[in-house]
Amino acid sequence: MIKIYLTIFFIFFILTLIKKNIYVKSNFRKNGFFTVKNVIDPKLCKKIYQKIIKDSNIDPKIKYNKRINRILDFDNIYKKAFSIVYNKIKNHLSEYFNNKEIKLYEFYSIITYPNTFEQHWHRFANKPYLKNNEMISVALLLTDLEKNRAPVQLYKGSHLISKVKSNTIIDLTGKKGDVIMWDTFSIHKHSNNISQNKNCLLIFSFLNKSSIEASNKKLNNSLKKIYNNISINDIL
């Protein structure tokens, strides 16, 4: 009897994993975003956050109305964070990019203070996902991210089309240690922070090396070019 129960449990467990994997793939493709829960321990998130504050030399007098972006080097703790996140999501990246070779496009932090205004709606890359899947942004949440705390917002499904045909705006919220991924062809923005707390994101963007965006001259002229010759395997 015990063997029968164990066999049933094992089959149920395998089916659950298969169903979950299909769910991730289908929903990521359909919606243009996906969340992976509990990727990094909150204690490590706090250490990364503290290091970003220290490395950025932020004026302690700053309390409001500021969004600070900082391009990062692969220092020990940043490298550790990258490795943990990448190893957790690499199968999703491989599936989304159809197993094409990818490279790191950018690696930076964003700190958004209370009363910071929202961005304008925008998108990156050149073609909808179905024609030429090009770039994905990945955000590690170093603080809790509620709807009033300046989450990324996007038009659901807008990565599949050139023009918006949906009125469904999604707030990409989550808990400290979660990871949120979105197709950068999605029409998106950082919303305004109407809370009393700042938030901090660690952003990794991955680029399809054979895409149109990879040959974009603006990429070669930007600060992000410092990552052009860095292999992902060298970071891990």
Q: What is the pLDDT of residues 129-183, one digit of tens each?
A: 656 678 899 999 999 999 999 999 999 988 888 777 667 899 999 999 999 999 9
Indicate the pLDDT class of residue 17, thresholds 50, 70 and 90.
Answer: very low
CA nearest to 48, candidates 86, 67, 87, 75:
75
d(CA 165, CA 60): 44
Residue 20 has pLDDT above 50, yes or no: no
**pLDDT in the model for residue 13:** 42
| Residues in contact with 181: Cβ distance below 8 Å, sequence separation at least 6, in sequence order | 28, 33, 34, 35, 36, 89, 92, 136, 137, 138, 139
Q: 32-235 has which fold?
A: Jelly Rolls (2.60.120)
Reported as a single tens digit per residue, the pLDDT across 220-233 is 544 445 565 567 88
